[in-house]
């Protein structure tokens, strides 16, 4: 019973504290962050005990100690907040209790990370701590002045550059509220409403089940900001439906993984990384939303075109099954979309993100009373607060660990050294530098939450792009996109593996299929770095032209991937389509015109081939024999 009551009580208390500070009285930043991390650690240890089956009293006592200890240390930090904030870091001596509590707190953060997030980011943090100690014994660019144990505690526990730095500040002051908003929306029935709307919109379309998965995952992923969480929540509905309508296990899982991953770059919420981006760049979050809109829409357009062509190629059915039952329920719950409208409106009106999310949460409870079957009583409200806090652990703990890594990077100056290395290895060539940075982001994101991968990439890799005079917003967005892409990129593709486990497909095949279907996602970041018009930066005419040419490029690339337009196409035409797509996506008007011309010529030839050569006698009366036989039949060979 204690294992149920303690996590629930901690989660609800944490949510109440956060709601109080957002709606009534905010605490100083260092106090807010200390309490936030303390609750996150205590909740983590209550949710992930050392062993679930061992009934030895020793282990149980140790679990209770790890739950209580973070709260005690957090209380100590709050009590001494004025003294700690007035210290001169790395100058004033570290007092006895500061040292031992700080050392324990660092160990607790690492252990909580191991239990809740995984070994990869924990091991990375341990490596960075080791790097802080051995810096003086290294040579070359990676050497630094080093630090002793007291200096490490001063850096990571007492200074604003460590655990209580910017990453945990974003978690405490922004992300928690949006995670809680998603939990309230889900409990009110809004999450299921997204899925029902997606099914309703796509019910008569070819491949409608896959299109419903894309639409619902885009909506849900934007709210919860987690690729794996989105796969688990929507995939249990969408993947079986895709399989029923004819998609293979592998394709069903790949489509769901891609759609759920794309939710992390879909406005208006976009997950924790977007809040970090706004904080690091120092621009309003509303600008991040606007900048991310067109690339996100292009990404989902690519997926929709791919699943449509795949359905046409394999002659798959529409998803009419069980859709009739959902239509009446949509209108009865349509009022649950109002809180999302309120949230976006408040953000663009200039309210702080915590205030906007607070009133959006309040509005969920209020509008739920519009109908009896959506009404949120005390039990549902408490359950939403509990679920929201438990989900927030997956963000708060990685942010605390990221604070350790960021602190060591700031101490050693490793960020500037990485910039120098990238400039050297790329020989001053922007394209080569972008490829190196993209690979680095994907490697950093293997087995790590997107938030952590983005923080690492933003600190270590983004300055290199900025040094090439890339627009700062475009540079951070580039890093974010490839941090997100790590969720579907082999060999460690967490979103693909989660979807494969639901569909019953092989994990390796699913990740490769998702990588193939998501090729456009890899090209879009390169496009908006060279031409920020895709981020709505620049003249309106330039923005419109860039969106038009890139959209055609996305369609051409989708045709190349599936190998189908009006009928199956040959490898020669697929290669030509790929060339046209790259020309249109590359942001130079001359290349755009060449690419558009090539694309139109290929479409016309293919259409004529279908209209005249396949349907008429081989005499070719309506089409010159020489062109028909020597060009179309020999080289394009469409069947």
Token look-up 């309230």 returns 184
Q: Which of 162, 187, 219 is the last residue of a domain?
A: 162
Query: Which of these, 470, 439, 458, lies nearest to 532 by C-alpha position?
Result: 470
Q: In the prediction, which pLDDT does 318 show?
A: 59
271 near 451, Cβ under 8 Å? yes
Residue 463, number of CB atoms within 10 A of its CB: 18
Q: What is the pLDDT of residues 506-551, one digit of tens each?
A: 888 888 999 999 888 888 899 888 888 889 888 898 899 989 999 9
Give dist(CA 446, CA 486) in Å, integer: 6
480 near 277, Cβ under 8 Å? yes
Q: What is the pLDDT of residues 3-13, one digit of tens each?
A: 678 899 999 99
pTM of model > 0.85:
no
**Structural domain contains residue 626:** yes
Token look-up 């009865």 returns 332
Give dist(CA 190, CA 182) in Å, integer: 9
**Structural domain contains residue 185:** no
**Structural domain contains residue 252:** no
What backbone phi and psi angles, to 5 degrees, belong to 564?
-150, 140
**Structural domain contains residue 609:** yes
SS3 at position 461? coil
Q: Which of 162, 178, 208 is the last residue of a domain?
A: 162
Dmax (CA) for the chain in angstroms is 96
Q: Which of 145, 162, 179 is the last residue of a domain?
A: 162
Beta bridge partners of 568: 564
Q: In the prediction, which pLDDT does 138 show?
A: 86
The number of domains in the chain is: 2
Beta bridge partners of 564: 568
Q: In the prediction, which pLDDT does 614 show?
A: 56
Give dist(CA 475, CA 335) in Å, integer: 39
**Structural domain contains residue 564:** yes
Burial class (CB in 10 A: 0-12, 13-18, 19+), 263: buried
Q: What is the pLDDT of residues 155-186, one digit of tens each?
A: 999 988 899 988 898 889 888 998 898 889 88
**Structural domain contains residue 590:** yes
**Structural domain contains residue 222:** no
Give dist(CA 122, CA 445) in Å, integer: 13
149 near 89, Cβ under 8 Å? no
Strand extents, DSSP E, 462-553: none
**Structural domain contains residue 254:** no
Range(s) of the domain holding residue 609: 539-636
pLDDT, averaged in runs of 10, over the chain (639 residues): 80 95 88 95 92 70 91 94 85 86 95 87 91 87 86 91 89 88 86 76 74 79 70 80 85 90 82 80 87 90 90 74 58 83 86 89 92 86 93 89 89 82 87 91 80 84 90 92 88 85 87 89 88 88 90 91 87 90 84 92 87 53 41 43
């Amino acid at each position: 019973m204690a294992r149920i009551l303690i996590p629930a009580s901690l989660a609800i208390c944490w949510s109440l504290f956060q709601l109080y500070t957002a709606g009534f009285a905010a605490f100083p930043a260092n106090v807010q962050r200390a309490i936030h991390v303390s609750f996150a650690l205590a909740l983590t240890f209550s949710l992930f005990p050392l062993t679930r089956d061992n009934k030895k009293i020793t282990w149980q006592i140790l679990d209770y100690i790890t739950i209580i200890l973070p709260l005690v240390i957090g209380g100590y930090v709050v009590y001494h907040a004025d003294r700690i904030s007035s210290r001169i870091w790395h100058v004033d001596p570290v007092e006895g209790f500061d040292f031992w509590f700080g050392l324990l707190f660092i160990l607790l953060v690492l252990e909580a990370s191991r239990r809740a997030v995984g070994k990869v980011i924990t091991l990375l943090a341990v490596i960075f701590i080791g790097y802080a100690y051995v810096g003086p014994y290294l040579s070359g660019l990676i050497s630094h002045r080093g630090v002793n144990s007291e200096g490490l505690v001063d850096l990571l526990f007492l200074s604003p550059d460590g655990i209580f730095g910017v990453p945990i500040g974003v978690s405490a002051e922004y992300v928690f509220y949006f995670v809680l908003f998603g939990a309230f929306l889900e409990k009110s029935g809004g999450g299921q409403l997204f899925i029902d709307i997606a099914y309703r919109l796509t019910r008569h379309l070819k491949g409608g089940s896959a299109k419903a998965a894309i639409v619902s995952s885009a909506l849900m992923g934007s709210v919860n900001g987690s690729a794996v969480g989105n796969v688990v929540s929507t995939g249990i509905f969408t993947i079986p439906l895709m399989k029923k309508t004819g998609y293979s296990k592998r394709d069903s899982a790949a489509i769901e993984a891609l759609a759920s991953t794309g939710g992390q770059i879909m406005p208006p919420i976009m997950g924790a990384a977007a809040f970090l981006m706004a904080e690091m760049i120092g621009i309003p979050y509303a600008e991040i939303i606007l900048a991310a809109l067109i690339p996100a829409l292009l990404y989902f357009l690519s997926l929709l075109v791919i699943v449509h062509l795949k359905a046409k190629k394999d002659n798959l059915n529409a998803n009419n099954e069980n859709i009739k039952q959902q239509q009446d329920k949509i209108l009865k719950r349509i009022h649950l979309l109002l809180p999302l409208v309120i949230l976006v409106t408040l953000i663009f009106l200039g309210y702080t993100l915590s205030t906007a999310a607070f009133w959006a949460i309040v509005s969920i409870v209020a509008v739920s009373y519009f109908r009896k079957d959506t009404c949120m009583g005390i039990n549902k409200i408490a359950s939403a607060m509990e679920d929201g806090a438990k989900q927030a652990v997956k963000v708060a703990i990685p942010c605390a660990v990221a604070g350790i890594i960021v602190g060591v990077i700031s101490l050693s100056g490793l960020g500037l050294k990485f910039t120098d290395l990238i400039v050297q290895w790329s020989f001053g060539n922007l394209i080569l530098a972008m490829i190196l940075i993209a690979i680095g982001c994907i490697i950093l994101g293997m087995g790590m939450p997107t938030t952590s991968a983005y923080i690492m990439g933003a600190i270590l890799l983004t300055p290199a792009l900025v040094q090439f005079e890339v627009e700062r917003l475009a540079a951070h967005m580039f890093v974010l996109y490839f941090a997100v892409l790590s969720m579907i990129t082999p060999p460690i593709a967490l979103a693909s593996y989660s979807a494969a486990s639901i569909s019953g497909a092989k994990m390796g095949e699913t990740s490769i299929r998702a990588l193939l279907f998501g090729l456009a996602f890899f090209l879009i970041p390169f496009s908006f770095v060279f031409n920020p018009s895709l981020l709505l930066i620049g003249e309106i005419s330039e923005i419109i032209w860039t969106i038009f040419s890139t959209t055609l490029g996305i369609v051409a690339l989708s045709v190349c991937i599936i190998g189908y337009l009006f009928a199956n196409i040959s490898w020669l035409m697929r290669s030509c389509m790929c060339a046209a797509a790259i020309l249109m996506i590359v942001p130079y008007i001359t290349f755009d015109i060449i690419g558009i011309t090539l694309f139109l010529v290929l479409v016309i030839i293919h259409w004529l081939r279908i209209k005249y050569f396949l349907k008429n006698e081989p005499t070719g009366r309506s089409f010159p024999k020489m062109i028909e036989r020597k060009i179309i039949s020999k080289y394009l060979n469409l069947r």
